[in-house]
Structure 1
Amino acid sequence: MPVNFSDHDQHLVTKQHHNSIETEFYQFINKFKIGVWFLGIPSWLFGITDRSIAAFADGTLSITEIFQLLTTAFFFVSWLYLKPENSLDENTGCSYLNQTDKFGLKKRHMISQEYILPFPYFCQIYHLLNLKHLETVHKFSLNNLKILGINDFQTTSFGGIIKFTTLLDSPVNALRIWRQPIVEVDLILHSPYTIELSIPVYDNKRIIVIFYAFPLQEMEHQLFIEIYSDLDWPKPFLQILLHFASCLTLFEDLPYLRSLAETNIERVYKLSKFSQQANMLLFKRFIELYGSNKEKIKLLK
């Protein structure tokens, strides 16, 4: 169902209007780049044809002419591989866990990490399902990534799916190695313990992060992080990068989780339940299904 932002909050309306303008601007830039790429194809073809005619005009081929033809052909093929992609990946897909068979999961599995953290389980869930934390808690690692808006929210029997558009605002953002400046990201609540983050990358490929959080004691929980990808990069190199990125984001989590653990969690639940912020929709869904009965979650585990 479509998400409507609160009419009474003028600040949110103004921000959404500004983000809409940013989205349109980056989409215009992307279309412009695609247009330039298409114009380049006949230009290169003309160059190859012109060089070929000039080379064969006298009936012989010199070393210099052969080198010029090969160089022109090489740059033309390189130009074809430089085709820009659409900023918003249309293949948003559904749950990676549901779509991929066991063999596919094993083949695309990159890394696993396991932690026991001295914070309540509900603090971790609140953090993972609050979209605003991508802009605040992970401001450094994501290099000022912005959430432009919520595109869709659907409830499921055991959770829900929220789709939101993110923007890499900085031209030197390291994440541009992985993905386009503007993409639609999926965050899926599969169960009270399982959360999936699905991020589009280049060539219709994705990086999938699966979080498993289990309560151990009142002030302790266990966190598993599984990352999958169908990128064609060398797997050992990709594993090193993903391990580093995962450790960095967890390091950023610790001060926030510690601060959250010191607050009144019940008050956080109540405030979130009646929140009108779109970035809290998935956590509100968690509260509807599981938040009011902690004993039920323990039994499910």
Structure 2
Amino acid sequence: MFLNCLKKKDKLSINQGSYVSNVEIALFIDKIKSNIWLFGIPSWLFGISDRSIAVFADGYLSPIEIFQLFTTFFFFVSWLYLKPEESFNSNDLGPSQYQEYLDRTQANKLQLKKLHMISQEYILPFPYICQIYHLLNLRHLETVHSFSLNNLKIFQISHFQPTNTGGIIKFQTILDSPANALRIWRQPIVEVDLILHTPYTVELSIPVYNHKRIFVIFHAFPLNDLEHHFFIDIYSDLEWPKPLLQIILHFASCLTLFEDLPYLRALADKNIGRLFNLSKAPNHETALLFKRYVELYGSTGEPTRLLEGKEES
């Protein structure tokens, strides 16, 4: 959801920044072309003058000299017709419009920076498919993270939508315990979004209060058959003091990762390749998003290849 919002708002920092960079490059190239063309005009005039003086110095024009003069004039006229066209003229993108794009891009970057809370980066000694399976299986919120989430329960799956590169699942969670610390910043029952953006990117969107949310972006990239690079980025529009919120989020992120490690190690020691076979993938509704992952990417052979490589080593 958070990544989709970035794409919808004029593609925010990524696409707008890319667009403005392309504009700057195009303007720079146009300037180089114009300068080369302008420099060529006096150069050709000097060449024509020098050639004419040399030809008429003896008062006799030979056929070869006439041909040389004709050729020189022909290339000079051709050079005039080769005047480069500007990629961005006043009708397409005036100075005020270009400045507007720059100002808007800077504002978007500032807004994105304001929403960004923390980043964490790890190299974990497990195949990345173990991480993907863990992130997409909702039951692990109740089991693997039972301590940090204080026995949070999944109430029901309210929505599931496949996409071209992944899918979106919405599920309601309930805080059973009255002493659950999460009650400080959320209602007892809320609807959480889990989104598979790419084979390596998963987003968790958590409502807090007054339409404020916390967005957690996970990236898991395979380094080899036995390791993966794991990135955690958290964004939020909560109006809490940012240093305090950063401390809380760093602690919560480290705690959940600490809970992950024994389970990921157990997964790595098992043959979970069968889970990436569509006929053997879990059928319960809490694994709908993982099953979608298998439908899209299990047939590529990447998960199976990594598992086979681990077993051979």
- The interval holding the TM-score normalised by the smaller chain is 0.5 to 0.7
Q: Deviations over 1:113-157 (max 9, x none)?
A: 000000001000000000000000000000000001100100000
Contact 2:200 2:220 in 1 (8 A): yes
Distance 2:153 2:173 in 1: 6
Contact 2:277 2:298 in 1 (8 A): no
Alignment match, 1:245: 252
* Cα deviation, residue 177, structure 1: 1.6
Alignment match, 1:99: 5
Alignment match, 2:223: 216
* Structure 2 residue matching 1:151: 3-state secondary structure: strand
Alignment match, 1:135: 142
* Structure 2 residue matching 1:105: 3-state secondary structure: helix
* Cα deviation, residue 267, structure 1: 1.9
Q: Deviations over 1:140-190 (max 9, x none)?
A: 000000001100100000000000000011111111122111000000000
From 271, 290, 312, the equivalent of 1:264 is 271
From 284, 288, 293, the equivalent of 1:281 is 288
Distance 1:285 1:295 in 2: 15
Q: Considering Cα pairs closer than 8 Å and 6+ residues apart, tell me whether 1 or 2 has the greater RCO.
A: 1
Q: Which has the greater radius of gyration? A: 2
Alignment match, 1:149: 156
Report 1:43-122 matches (<5 A). 95-100=1-6, 101-102=12-13, 103=108, 104-122=111-129
* Structure 1 residue matching 2:233: 3-state secondary structure: strand
* Structure 1: runs of 5+ lacking an equivalent: 1-94
* Structure 1 residue matching 2:244: 3-state secondary structure: helix
Q: Deviations over 1:239-258 (max 9, x none)?
A: 00000000000000000000
CA gap 1:246/1:291 in 2 versus in 1, 3 angstroms: same
Alignment match, 2:84: none
Residue identity over aligned pairs, in percent, reads 72
The one-letter code sitting in structure 1 at the alignment partner of 2:195 is I
RMSD (Å), alpha carbons: 1.8
Q: Which is worse superposed, 96-105 or 210-219?
A: 96-105
From 198, 201, 216, the equivalent of 2:205 is 198
Distance 2:4 2:304 in 1: 23
Contact 2:275 2:282 in 1 (8 A): no
Q: Which is worse superposed, 153-162 or 99-108?
A: 99-108
Distance 1:138 1:131 in 2: 11
Distance 2:180 2:303 in 1: 43
Report the count of equivalent residues.
204
Are 2:130 and 1:123 equivalent residues in the alignment? yes
* Structure 2: runs of 5+ lacking an equivalent: 7-11, 14-107, 306-313
Distance 2:290 2:162 in 1: 12
CA gap 1:296/1:119 in 2 versus in 1, 3 angstroms: closer
Q: Deviations over 1:47-105 (max 9, x none)?
A: xxxxxxxxxxxxxxxxxxxxxxxxxxxxxxxxxxxxxxxxxxxxxxxx11121333232
Distance 2:190 2:113 in 1: 26
Q: Which is worse superposed, 221-230 or 175-184?
A: 175-184
Distance 2:135 2:225 in 1: 18
Q: Deviations over 1:208-250 (max 9, x none)?
A: 0000000001010000000000000000000000000000000
Contact 1:272 1:280 in 2 (8 A): no
Distance 1:171 1:195 in 2: 30
Alignment match, 1:182: 189
CA gap 1:166/1:272 in 2 versus in 1, 3 angstroms: farther
Contact 2:274 2:280 in 1 (8 A): no
- When normalised by structure 1's length, the TM-score is 0.65
* Structure 2 residue matching 1:276: 3-state secondary structure: coil
The one-letter code sitting in structure 2 at the alignment partner of 1:158 is T
* Structure 1 residue matching 2:220: 3-state secondary structure: strand
Distance 2:302 2:129 in 1: 13
* Cα deviation, residue 266, structure 1: 1.3
